[in-house]
C-alpha cells in the first residue's frame, strides 16, 4: 500500500483528501459519507488532522486506521508536538506502526491557548523538526536514546508542512530547507491561490533538495482549499499567516455577493475549479482541504 503511495508521490499523479475527525467517539459517519460520495475512487489517499486549533477531536491515528481498513488506501496521520512529549510520540509511532499507520504528517501544532478544554497546556518539547528526527531515528531501529528496539518498525514515511506565502521569501526558503534536511519526504504547503506562487515554491523545493544531504529527494505537495464565500477569502488573506488570496479573487467574490448567495458560490467554485486544473497541470501533487465539505471536494475532482 505505502510503497505504491510513495511511488505516486515521487513519479505520478498524487491527490490526497484531508479529513477532520469530530468531537465524537465515532469516526464511522465521516467514513460512510466519503464512501457514499465515492471519493475513495477519486483520490490516492487521505489525511487525518490532530486536534486542530487545540479543539478536542477523535484521535488522528485511530482515524487513519479506520480509513485504511475501510478503503484500502493510505492515510497520512497528523501528529503535533503540542500534546505529547518525546516518550509519548515514540510510543504512539511504535504502536500505530503495527496497525500499518506509516505515513506521518509532523507539525508543531496550534497553541493550547485556543483550546476548548479548560486549563489545557501545551507540551512542545520541540517543534516539528524534532518529530521528523524521531521518525528518522526509529527507522534506524533505535529509539531517541539510541537504544536498540526489540522489533524495529516497518518504514515510517515523514511529511511536513510549510507556508505557501511570505513577504520574506528568504525566511520561507530556510524553513523549507530545514524540513528537507530533517528528513521530510513530502512537504504540504498552505493553500495556494496563484500559479506564480506555486512556481516559486517549486523553485524553492528544487533549491532545498540541491542542498540536502539525503539521497532521496523531497516532493512538494501543493495545498488546495476551494473558496466559495467572500468572507472566507477575506479571512484567509487577512488573518491566516502564510496564505495569500489574490485581490482579483476578492473583487470577483465581492461583486458576486451583491447579486445573490448562489452567484457568490458559483463564482467562487469556478475560480477554485479552474485553479485546481491549472495546479494539476503544473504539478500534479495536490492535497485537498475542504473542512469536511466532501460534496465540494467531489465537485472539484470530477
In the numeric block, which cell numbers belong to residue 52?
486542530
In the numeric block, which cell numbers belong to residue 15?
491527490
Helices (H), the chain: 2-11, 28-37, 60-71, 86-98, 128-139, 169-181, 195-210, 230-239, 247-257, 261-282, 294-301
Provide the residue ranges of all domains of the chain, joining segments of one domain with +: 2-227+286-294
Confidence (pLDDT) at 294: 98
Where does residue 223 rank: exposed (0-12), middle (13-18), buried (19+ CB within 10 A)?
buried
In the numeric block, which cell numbers belong to residue 222?
501543493
Quote the CA–CA distance of 135 and 253 in Å, as a whole number. 43
Judge whether 289 and 225 are in contact, CB under 8 Å.
yes
Confidence (pLDDT) at 193: 97
Helix orientation angle between 261-282 and 247-257, rounded to the nearest 10 degrees: 150
Confidence (pLDDT) at 241: 85
Confidence (pLDDT) at 211: 86
Q: Rounded to the nearest 10 degrees, how much is the dihedral formed by the CA atoms of 198, 268, 46, 194? A: 0
Multiple choice CATH, 2-227+286-294, 1.10.600.10, 3.40.50.2000, 3.40.50.1370, 3.20.20.220: 3.20.20.220
| pLDDT of the chain, 302 residues: tens digit per residue | 899 999 999 999 999 999 999 999 999 999 999 999 999 999 999 999 999 999 999 999 999 999 999 999 999 999 999 999 999 999 999 999 999 999 999 999 999 999 999 999 999 999 999 999 999 999 999 999 999 999 999 999 999 999 999 989 999 999 999 999 999 999 999 999 999 999 999 999 999 999 888 888 999 999 999 999 999 999 999 988 899 999 999 999 999 999 999 999 999 999 999 999 999 999 999 999 999 999 999 999 99
Confidence (pLDDT) at 195: 96
Amino acid at each position: 500500500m505505502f510503497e505504491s503511495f510513495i511511488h505516486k508521490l515521487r513519479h505520478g499523479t498524487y491527490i490526497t483528501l484531508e479529513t477532520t475527525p469530530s468531537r465524537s467517539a465515532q469516526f464511522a459517519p465521516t467514513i460512510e459519507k466519503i464512501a457514499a460520495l465515492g471519493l475513495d475512487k477519486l483520490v490516492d489517499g487521505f489525511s487525518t488532522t490532530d486536534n486542530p486549533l487545540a479543539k478536542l477531536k477523535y484521535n488522528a491515528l485511530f482515524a487513519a486506521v479506520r480509513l485504511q481498513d475501510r478503503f484500502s488506501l493510505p492515510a497520512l496521520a497528523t501528529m503535533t508536538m503540542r500534546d505529547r512529549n518525546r516518550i509519548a510520540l515514540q510510543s504512539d509511532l511504535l504502536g500505530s506502526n503495527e496497525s500499518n499507520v506509516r505515513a506521518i504528517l509532523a507539525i508543531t501544532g496550534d497553541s493550547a491557548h485556543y483550546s476548548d478544554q479548560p486549563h489545557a497546556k501545551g507540551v512542545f518539547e520541540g517543534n516539528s523538526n524534532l518529530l521528523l528526527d524521531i521518525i528518522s531515528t526509529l527507522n534506524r531501529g533505535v529509539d531517541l536514546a539510541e537504544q536498540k528496539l526489540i522489533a524495529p518498525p516497518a518504514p515510517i514515511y515523514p511529511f511536513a508542512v510549510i507556508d505557501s506565502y511570505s513577504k520574506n521569501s528568504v525566511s520561507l526558503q530556510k524553513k523549507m530547507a530545514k524540513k528537507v534536511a530533517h528528513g521530510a519526504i513530502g512537504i504540504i504547503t498552505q493553500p495556494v491561490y496563484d500559479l506564480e506562487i506555486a512556481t516559486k515554491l517549486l523553485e524553492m523545493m528544487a533549491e532545498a533538495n540541491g542542498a540536502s544531504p539525503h539521497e532521496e529527494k523531497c516532493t512538494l505537495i501543493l495545498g488546495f482549499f476551494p473558496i466559495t464565500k467572500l468572507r472566507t477569502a477575506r479571512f484567509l488573506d487577512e488573518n491566516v499567516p502564510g496564505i495569500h488570496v489574490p485581490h482579483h479573487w476578492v473583487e470577483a467574490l465581492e461583486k458576486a455577493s451583491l447579486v445573490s448567495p448562489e452567484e457568490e458560490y458559483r463564482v467562487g467554485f469556478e475560480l477554485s475549479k479552474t485553479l485546481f486544473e491549472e495546479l494539476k497541470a503544473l504539478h500534479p501533487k495536490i492535497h485537498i482541504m475542504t473542512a469536511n465539505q466532501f460534496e465540494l471536494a467531489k465537485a472539484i475532482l470530477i
